[in-house]
Structure formats: C-alpha cells, structure tokens
Amino acid sequence: MARILTGITSNNIPHLGNVLGAMLPAIELSNKAENESLYFIADFHSLISLKDAEARKNSINAVAATWIALGFDTQKNILYRQSDVPQVTELTWYLNCFTPYPMLANAVSFKEKSDRLSDVNSGLFTYPVLMAADILMYDANFVPVGKDQLQHLEITRDIAERFNRQYGDTFVVPEAKIEESVMIVPGTDGQKMSKSYNNFINIFLPEKELEKVIKSIKTDSKGVEEPKDPDTCNVFNIYKLVADATQTDFLRTKYIEGGIGYGSAKLLLYSTLMLKFSKARETYNHLMANTQELDAILKQGAVKAAAIANPVLARVRHKLGYL
C-alpha cells in the first residue's frame, strides 16, 4: 500500500486550473485500491497571506466541497482540515530545530514572494517546515504537487534524512509525484490560469455569471467566415482540455475551414463545461448551502488523520527525550 498525501491552501475558491491540473489527477490516484490518500486543507498555511476570518472559512468550505464534488471518496480515504490535527504545529517546532537557516533563506519561493509581498512575516519564511511536518506526520510515501512545490519536497526529504541519521529511522522519506503530462490550463487572457492574474474560471459560478466569464475570454477579431488558427485561440485551448476527442476534432476542423465565430465557440465551451461539471456543481452547491454536512465529513477525517499522526508524534517525542 502506498500512502499519498497532498494539501491545498485555503486562500481562494478552486478554479478550473486547480481542478484539471491538480485535483482530478489526485482523485484518480486516490481511487486505486492499492493507495490510501490523505488530502487536506492547509488552513494554517493560509494565515501567512490571508488574515480575514470569514474569507478563510469560506475558502475552507469551498476547497472541501470541491474535493467531494469532484468525487473524492471520503470513506475510502481521508479528507481533513490541517488545523483539526493541531499536533502538526508541535512537530513543526521539532523540525524547525533541524532545519538549517540558509536552506529556508535560499528557498526560491521565499525569495520570490519576499521580493513581491508587503507582508513578509516569519510564517512565510518557515512555511516549508510546516509543510514538511504535514507530510512527515503521516508517514506519506508520495506527494502529488505542482513543479513549483518541488523544492519544498526536497527540503522535507532533507529534514527527514537529517533526523533519521541522528536518531535512527523515524520518518518515512517521501517522494514528490509530479505528473509530467499534466496540462497547464490557460486563463481567460491566455496566460497560465491563476488567482494572482485574475484570469480564472470558477466552474461553480451561477450559470449567467459563468457564461459572462466565458464570454470574456480574449480572442482576435476575425469574422465568422474567416479561417482561424485553433492552436493560438484561448477558447479552443481551454475547450480541448474539457471536451472529448471527437468534439475537439470537430471544432478544430470548423476553425480551420472557417464558418464558426468566436461567440459560438464560447457557447460551445460554456455548454461543455456545464455538462461535464453538472453533477459536481449540484453537489458543490448543496454542500455550500449545508456546511454542517461538510463539518461532519471533515471532523470524521480529522479523527482518522489523528489516529495516524499520534503514534508518529509519540515516536518523535520519544527519540527527543520528551516522553
């Protein structure tokens, strides 16, 4: 059995890029009988940048509801809120004392963010140590992450190996699982879809609002009859990620031959999204209107997660002479 673990920071509502690039592939992994998956909502991490309590609660619910709506099986697997197993903060302290300062100071993500952000707090600096604790706390074997998180996984492995050398085998040394084939989902302006660029598509928006976002996708100004290049068109590039092969070939041919306008292509994308995510939208809306159901699922997840975390923490305490 392999234990798979990954977290999503709760500082926004998951968008189509998160869904196609990270969440659906992770769900596919979690459905394999030989895997046990722990997927969690990194709400301690969110405090680094998000200070508003209501926004945090809303994002925690949205991330949890998205996992469930997309089909994550919370009976077979474990879905939990990071802060519901606060033992992770104790482990973070221990790991802090095994993390060389320069390793954090040289982390690319810290350097890049500390140059850009006005609030450069110590949480931003020690963020990779909390992430290491998230992973090591649960004896995870594989951690599916985007390429930007690879260095944080190396830091985690480094801390675990350092500790194991000094105290004997204590932590499982995890491996990053990068899906090379994973698509980069373009946003409405053609750049990588990201909440930072405000070019994202929230697939859970009410119909009219979603339609408006789809209509805002940038295109050139070619007329209906003119032949168009599918490969440079943002509408087509998003469409091909959600439509099946036959639908994609059909639209590609239409573009090349001419005879379809961008307005119609956008409507096609809109209806394909609505169809593909109709069940997910229903479940998501139900859960967001009944957050006590979400709370119950998350609490149940936390009980299962704590049952894994507690013995690991006891192991560490023992090695360090605290028990």
The set of catalytic residues is 113, 192, 195
Q: Which of residues 31-50 bind ligand TRP (CB under 6 A)?
A: 42, 45
SS3 annotation, 13-24:
CCCHHHHHHHHH
Q: Which of 143, 201, 302, 305 binds ligand TRP (CB under 6 A)?
A: 143
Residue 251 structure tokens:
């639209």
Contacts of 249 (CB under 8 A, 6+ apart): none
Q: Does 194 bind ligand ADP (CB under 6 A)?
A: yes
Q: Does 235 bind ligand TRP (CB under 6 A)?
A: no
Dist CA 238 CA 199 (whole Å): 12
Judged by CB under 6 A, the number of residues near ligand TRP is 12
> Considering the complex, what minimum distance in angstroms separates the CB of residue 287 from ligand TRP?
22
Nearer to ligand TRP, 66 or 149 (CB): 149
Dist CA 244 CA 239 (whole Å): 9
> Considering the complex, what minimum distance in angstroms separates the CB of residue 177 from ligand ADP?
11
Expressed in angstroms, the distance from the first to the final Cα of the chain is: 30
143 contact choice in ligand TRP, ligand ADP, none (CB below 5 to 8 Å, kind-dependent): ligand TRP
Q: Does 49 bind ligand ADP (CB under 6 A)?
A: no
Report the b/e string of 91-110 with b at 16+ CB within 10 A: bbebbbeebeeebbeebeeb
Q: Does 301 bind ligand ADP (CB under 6 A)?
A: no
Phi, psi angle pair for 95, to nearest 5°: -65, -35
Angle between helices 122-136 and 150-167 (to 10 degrees): 60
Q: Which of 196, 216, 271, 310 binds ligand ADP (CB under 6 A)?
A: 196
107 contact choice in ligand ADP, ligand TRP, none (CB below 5 to 8 Å, kind-dependent): none
Q: Does 134 bind ligand TRP (CB under 6 A)?
A: yes
Residue 137 structure tokens:
């706390």
Q: Which residues pair with 186 in a beta bridge?
A: 192
Q: Which of 7, 17, 230, 301 binds ligand TRP (CB under 6 A)?
A: 7
Q: Which residues pair with 142 in a beta bridge?
A: 4, 175
Residues contributing to the site for ligand ADP (CB under 6 A): 8-9, 17-18, 21-22, 145-146, 184-185, 192-196
Residues contributing to the site for ligand TRP (CB under 6 A): 5-7, 9, 42, 45, 131, 134-135, 143, 145, 149
